[in-house]
Amino acid sequence: MTRAPLVVIGDALLDRDLDGRVERLAPDAPVPVVDDPAERRRPGGAALAATLAALDGRAVVLVTALAADEAGAALRGLLEAARVEVADLGLTGPTPEKIRVRVEGRSLLRLDRATRPGRVGPTGDAARRALAGAAAVLVADYGRGLAAGPGIRAALAGLPARVPVVWDPHPRGPAPVPGARLATPNRAEAARFAPDVPGGDLAAVTARARLVAERWAAAGVAVTLGPGGALLVQGAGAPMVMPAPPTTGGDPCGAGDRFAATAAGLLADGALPSEAVAGAVAAASAFVATGGAATVHLPLTPPSAPDPTPPLASPLERGLRRIAAVRAQGGTVVATGGCFDLLHAGHVATLRAARALGDCLLVCLNSDDSVRRLKGPGRPLVRLADRIAVLEALGCVDVVVPFDERTPEVVLRRLRPDVFAKGGDYALADLPEAALLATWGGQAVVLPYLEGRSTTQLMKEVVRRDSH
């Protein structure tokens, strides 16, 4: 049976980054001269949200409008390379482009092309065909008119109530269709949608979220707060705040798309809105910390042949496919392993540190039986499917591969990563994976572990508190 797709609806842009170096000022004006900029292209707008979901391993259909120009052809190729199925409505006019001139990871200048929206072709039948059988729908509105089309709105209104709709709004766009499971404005957008609510504290954010939820007839509104995480309002209950883990540096470009795509994907998997928002906060924070949209690298030309891997590829097959893609671009493959029962700050710190060692991170995860053999009959506390869902919601994790043995040597022999990273107080001589990695020229490393964080300590603390 084919996995039901996540359908993304919205305006597609072509994003171009020109990365160079600055060593001098221009002789005719006090402006920096950017030498030898290298260009990287990637999908932007709703196409970025669709690409991020596809890179998570999901089946994705993007309903958008592409122009018949050079930029549109490049965007089609990038989407095909990401294995995003496109329902193209046709765009009369040029493809919108967003160009950033960057030096050492920081933007000096942004140029926008085709700022006036073009005319979108008929939407009704194409939208209905794409939405048939959708697991969830994400409307990534970039204010260029596609989400306001009557055919799109009629098709969305006709969806069964069981299909969750996530709406990432734009100040120039329409209100979400009534009944959206989740709307995801950022703090500034929420203030524009509810200008009659004064103030900037959490009370004001909560009041705005409640007001727009009422006006839009939305089941929930999650206001993203940047480094502050997100605030979720559902009905008349108390708001939930999902704090973001602390990060330093990074690039926030694309964080909203990472948040919305993760939330929609988790809702498609059956998560509660609170679980989806919590997972989206973690994924967006990790995405920003690792460099944001600039880290989304795809080949400039599509693959010469379709991917023979079926939509329901096994985790191991997905891992091997991801490794092949990374190595085709000269990247480094990193793996780590563990039980990850009751994911906590120590786990997240280790996973982020491991991902920073290369270009993708595969997590070898002990199965439930394996955890029981290692930890005893009372473990795991969290079943395998839930542990996989939480790990895959982290932006620093590419693929999770379960294994049944006590240690991951068998699966590592198949994956053959360049680096195996383990968090904790180990000597390399104590790691059986170290000798294995050496057989193909790989390297095992030990990463520092946050002191005082462990699942066992959490369990002991719960027992201690319950006994008082």
Determine how β-strand 119-120 pairs with β-strand 91-92. antiparallel
List of residues 6+ apart from 377 with CB closer than 8 A: none
Is 88 among the catalytic positions? no
- Which of 257, 269, 359, 418 is labelled catalytic? 257
What count of Cα atoms within 13 Å lies in the side-chain half-sphere of residue 40? Answer: 15
CA dist 177 and 127 (Å) reads 15
The residue among 408, 420, 439, 405 whose CA lies nearest residue 361 is: 420
Burial class (CB in 10 A: 0-12, 13-18, 19+), 69: middle
CA dist 225 and 80 (Å) reads 33
Burial class (CB in 10 A: 0-12, 13-18, 19+), 181: buried
- Angle at the Cα of 210 (from 207 to 211), degrees rounded to 5? 85
CA dist 182 and 246 (Å) reads 25
CA dist 391 and 352 (Å) reads 12
Amino acid (1-letter code) at residue 401: V
**Residues with catalytic roles:** 257
